A and B are shown apart, each in its own frame.
Chain A
Amino acid sequence: KAGVTQTPRYLIKTRGQQVTLSCSPISGHRSVSWYQQTPGQGLQFLFEYFSETQRNKGNFPGRFSGRQFSNSRSEMNVSTLELGDSALYLCASSLRTSGSSVGELFFGEGSRLTVL
């Protein structure tokens, strides 16, 4: 069974640009969540999608957005990049059903974004 796949693994952007990251969950998983990981702030929750709807959102500015497609694949977008957006962006999928326990999260290896 294939794991969570994130693309691209590494990317470099400059301030002001925008970036789109992709996540393919484990087959059968309908919930996808995104996290930002930095040395200073640790792992911080961005948002969660379930059945193409955003179900949960962390405390990030509106420059951070996401969406989920009918096949459960998800993308996140960061517009007007800032130096502080440099981070490892992790995607996780789970078997969570609507309203139930969060269940075990399966993480991808992440997309490492560097903003210059």
Chain B
Amino acid sequence: DAKTTQPPSMDCAEGRAANLPCNHSTISGNEYVYWYRQIHSQGPQYIIHGLKNNETNEMASLIITEDRKSSTLILPHATLRDTAVYYCIVRVARMDSNYQLIWGAGTKLIIKP
């Protein structure tokens, strides 16, 4: 029951903006989009999340299309330490009033000097 589709890998030059796309065409109106990243040999790290509006924090910006069928995570000035697997995730509401994060396969982002 994959809810998100991401490119398997991307490259970005150090200092440039990294734009990571995610397709979630079957998302429902009350389902949030979350982004996490996982640096090699570490647990995933939260980046940002949103519902309808664009969001920005100290790490990144999240741009969600008006129809909510896709989103883009933007790392404004990528550094070598941003090399990681980036996961686009949908938070799904369940019948028992609980919720669950459905993880995609992730995009391996490689920042090149």
Indicate if A105 sits at the interface (CB-CB under 8 A). yes
Task: Report if A45-B46 is in contact (Cβ < 8 Å); known contacts: A102-B91, A109-B41.
Answer: no
Is B101 a contact partner of A90 (Cβ separation < 8 A)?
no
How many residues on chain A are close to B (CB under 8 Å)?
21
Which of B11-19, B61-69, B92-100 forms contacts with chain A?
A: B92-100
| Chain A, range 26-55, C-beta contacts under 8 Å to B | 42-45, 48, 55
A101 to B97, CA, bound (A): 11
Closest to B91 in A: A102
B105 within 8 A of A: yes
Q: Quick one: given A4-B43, A109-B42, are A102 and B103 in contact (CB under 8 Å)?
A: no
Smallest CB separation, B78 vs chain A (Å):
22
Task: Evaluate whether A58 and B100 lie within 8 angstroms (CB atoms) in the complex, with A43-B87, A107-B43, A107-B44 already known.
Answer: yes
B101 touches A110 (CB 8 A): no
- On whether the beta carbons of B44 and A56 are closer than 8 Å, the reply is no
**Distance between A34 CB and nearest chain B CB, rounded to angstroms:** 12
The verdict on A84 contacting chain B, using a C-beta distance below 8 Å, is no
Which of A92, A102, A106, A110 has the most C-beta atoms of chain B within 10 angstroms of its own C-beta? A102
A to B CB contacts below 8 Å, 5 in the list: A45-B101, A90-B43, A92-B44, A102-B99, A107-B44
Q: Besides A4-B43, A42-B106, A109-B43, 13 other CB < 8 A contacts?
A: A42-B103, A42-B105, A55-B98, A56-B98, A58-B100, A90-B44, A92-B43, A102-B99, A105-B46, A106-B46, A107-B42, A109-B41, A109-B42
